[in-house]
Amino acid sequence: MSNGRVCTVPLRIINRPIMPEIDEEKVTTFMEDMEAGDDFPPIEVLRVVLPPVDDGEIERRYYFSFGGCHRYEACQRLGRSSIKCKIIDVQGHIIRQHLGASCPF
């Protein structure tokens, strides 16, 4: 994928390392609008692709989202398995810089 490509991503693979402050009224409104078929802008997801550690392994991919918390939460509560995302490729050191010791790689 290239930077900025919009696609559908499974919710289960998106890491949300910063606990959001949720506005319940906003989430409820988003849920109602989503059920009515309204289209929402994609959330931005940062993707890190790391090379294999050992021979025979495949590259490791990590997906992080720091925004779009209300859209993400609305999708989760509606039982949806995926969300529309704008994928932005970043280097691993960018994520480590923000997450420090809690970075998964």
Q: pLDDT tens track of the chain, all 105 residues?
A: 457 899 999 999 999 998 889 999 999 999 999 999 999 999 999 999 998 888 888 999 999 999 999 999 999 999 999 999 999 999 999 999 989 988 998
pLDDT for the residue 1: 44
Residue 7 is assigned to a ligand binding site: no
Question: How many structural domains is the chain composed of?
Answer: 1
- The pLDDT of residue 42: 97
Q: Which domain holds residue 92?
A: 5-102
What pLDDT was estimated at residue 29? 97
Tell me the CA distances in angstroms from 59 to 53, 62, 78, one per residue in order.
8, 10, 32
Looking at residue 52, its pLDDT comes to: 87
Q: Is 79 annotated as a binding residue?
A: no
Whether residue 69 is annotated as binding a ligand: the answer is yes
CATH number at residue 35: 3.90.1530.10
d(CA 83, CA 76): 9
Asked whether residue 100 is marked as a ligand-binding residue, the answer is no
Q: What is the model's pTM? A: 0.87
Q: How do strand 60-64 and strand 43-50 relate by DSSP bridges? A: antiparallel
